[in-house]
Amino acid sequence: MVIARSLSRARRGARSDAALPLCLRRAVMAGAVMAGAIWPTAASAQFYGQLLESEIPLKTVTGRNLGVRDRVKPELEQIGLPMGSFHVYPSVLAGVGYTSNVVGAEVSSRADGYGEIKPEVIVRSDWARHALTATVSYDGQRYFNTKAKNQNGFLAKADGTIDIHDQSSIFGSASYRRTYEDQQEATFPANGGGAIAVRQPQALLRATYVSNRVRWTASADYNGFTYGDTISTTGARLDLSFRNRDVYRGSARVEYLLGQDNSVFAQGTYRRTDYRTTSAIDDRTSDEWRVGVGAIADVTNLMRIAGGIGYYHRTYDNKTVFHSVGGLAVDLRADYYLTQLTTITAIVSRQLEEAAVTGSSGYVATRYGARVDHELLRNLIPYLFADRFTSKFKGVDRDDRSWDAGGGVDYKLNRAWMVTVSGTYVSRVSHGTDRGPNINEFRGSVALKFTP
């Protein structure tokens, strides 16, 4: 699922960089792949992607190899509604879903179903130079029997690019959203019985300068996280305000082209995390430095590989409770084009996440995953995926191991209508004296999307 989001971002980015010379475009995008990939991100949420995405985004399209989901199909693309020098792209998705373990219980699990509605409006400029995009969406879920799991997610976002000269530019974005934390995440309360809402304001400014074969990028951003209260499995109120925090980041990256399809990069990032809590045992306010190098190459006409390795070191203001944490950050990705109709993607990552367990300074999350997309028909794409996760907590005795596997079908009836069917089985086993619940859950959904 993370891979799918990355592919979607890559496709959009490919159109905006179309004016670059071929060799330079490959270098620019290739370096961006690993620069965005090796930096750890927060635990994923159910809607709108990750809670804390890379400040320098992931791009994987080099212009030589195109995956099944990268190729543009004009006859199936939404045309949009003209509005002066802008185009408006409205859509609405409606569906039903099922979960075999609605509250993530270790024993006596209970199944439930839900209905979902997601209207969205995107307004995008049609200017020859510069760009401006605004997005507003709502994502509501209503469970049939478990009202505490009902969700009201929303997103309001604006972003724009100012073209300075050649391929140098300034990009800025601002957004506010309410998303929900996945109950399979290691940060979800062990006795949580309701949905956990996360309100997140965000602002980012990024400048890019291109000279010959070198591309410089500098970025600064802010993300705030405010967690709503929820209820326990027994109906008691759970106050999660101790997790509220503000994150400030600054990053610089340089990329260099070694050959037509080979590039290398180096990047450094500073991160300040300020927790808004008066409890010393929950105050994980910290400073963190990250440095890393990486490379990407189209090895053959059938394979693109990317690799990055970095080192992080985090120190906490409250040194009596939380010890410094340092370690290796790794992100590897390979795209194999079995045929023009089949793309196989594999990833390996290792990253540091924020902990929510008393006494733990954080946990190291390691992931191995693979996905297959196949274009059965031009408008019909089935897919399969599988992932293996481990979460090793620092400072407490807890070690989580989980895996998921599933698949689905995206069927585009025409420009206006698309049917999606998906199913996932997730299993988590937690070990140690501070362990969380062992969870097994099947999730499935069927949805119809209308894009006039």
Q: What is the DSSP string of 399-452?
A: EEEEEEEEEEEEEE-SSSEEEEEEEEEEEEEEESTT----EEEEEEEEEEEE--
DSSP letter assigned to residue 245: E
Are 20 and 253 spatial neighbours (Cβ–Cβ below 8 Å)?
Answer: no
pLDDT at 35: 38
Tens digits of per-residue pLDDT, 127-144? 999 999 999 999 999 999
The tokens describing 393, both together, are 């907590």
pLDDT at 15: 38
Tens digits of per-residue pLDDT, 324-333? 999 999 888 8
Looking at the chain, the number of H-run helices and the number of E-run strands are: 2, 21
pLDDT at 191: 85
The model carries a pTM of 0.84
DSSP letter assigned to residue 358: T
Are 426 and 439 spatial neighbours (Cβ–Cβ below 8 Å)?
Answer: yes
Cα–Cα dist 449/452, whole Å: 10
Q: Which of 196-205, 352-361, 380-389 has the lowest mean pLDDT?
A: 352-361
Q: Which of 30-39, 69-78, 159-168, 305-314 has the lowest mean pLDDT?
A: 30-39
pLDDT at 72: 83
The mean predicted confidence, pLDDT, of the chain is 86
Q: Does 57 score more than 80 pLDDT?
A: no
Q: What is the mean pLDDT of residues 383-394?
A: 96
Query: Angle 67-156-242 (CA atoms, 0-180°, nearest 5)?
Result: 100
Q: What is the mean pLDDT of residues 226-246?
A: 93
Q: Does 40 score more than 80 pLDDT?
A: no
pLDDT at 230: 94
- Long-range residue pairs from 424-429, CB within 8 A, at least 24 positions apart, any chain: 426/184, 426/402, 427/402, 427/403, 428/184, 428/400, 428/401, 428/402, 429/400, 429/401, 429/402
Q: What is the mean pLDDT of residues 34-55?
A: 43
Tens digits of per-residue pLDDT, 238-271? 999 999 999 999 999 898 888 766 788 898 999 9
Confidence of residue 63 (pLDDT cuts 50, 70, 90): low
pLDDT at 132: 98
**Which span out of 39-43, 88-92, 277-281 was modeled with the highest average pLDDT?**
88-92
Distance from chain centroid for Cα 104:
22
Give the burial string for 256-287 (b: 16+ CB within 10 Å, else e).
bbeeebbbbbbbebebebbbebeeeebbbbbe
| Percent of the chain at pLDDT exceeding 90 | 63
pLDDT at 9: 38
Question: Which residues fall within 8 angstroms of residue 124, CB to CB, at 6 or more apart?
Answer: 80, 86, 87, 89, 131, 132, 133
